[in-house]
Amino acid sequence: MADRNDPLAVDRLFFASLISSDAHALDQILADDFLIIDVMSGAETSKAAFLDVFRSGQLKFEKIDSLEARMRQYDKTAVVTGRTRMSGRFGETTFAVSSRYTHVYVEQQGRWRMASAQGTPISPD
């Protein structure tokens, strides 16, 4: 189990949960008011909608390479920025994207939870 007192460890657990299709772990990682800005479309999606799509199997990650990650911490808030290469499918459509991301974590009841995530597509290396 990842150290829930370390935002970078929780960030790694987030990606691992996406790969393993572990909706329960994602539910624990994401804050109740979590919002994600989709890397492909720019759409804003709530925690409930994200988990619904994930649980349905409509969204499946096949590979996520975390190429870099760094953290800045401000009291009970941590901002993790990094770079990934990921592939998978949404419905019948496959995708592969390189991106930079920003994840915002807040400390709630003694553990770090992701409050916001945004990805920006970038050119591959």
Residue range 101-120, pLDDT digits in tens:
999 999 998 999 999 999 99
CATH number at residue 26: 3.10.450.50
pLDDT for position 2: 53
Please tell me the distance from the alpha carbon of residue 55 to that of residue 51, in angstroms, as a whole number. 6
Backbone angles phi, psi at 43, to 5 degrees: -70, 145
Q: Is residue 1 part of a domain?
A: no
pLDDT above 70 (res 4): no
Q: Is residue 17 part of a domain?
A: yes
- pLDDT digits 0-9 by tens, 5-31: 799 999 999 999 999 999 999 999 999
Cut 0.75: pTM above it: yes
Which alpha helices (DSSP H) does the chain contain, by range? 7-20, 23-29, 47-56
Domain count, the chain: 1
Range of the domain at 63: 7-122
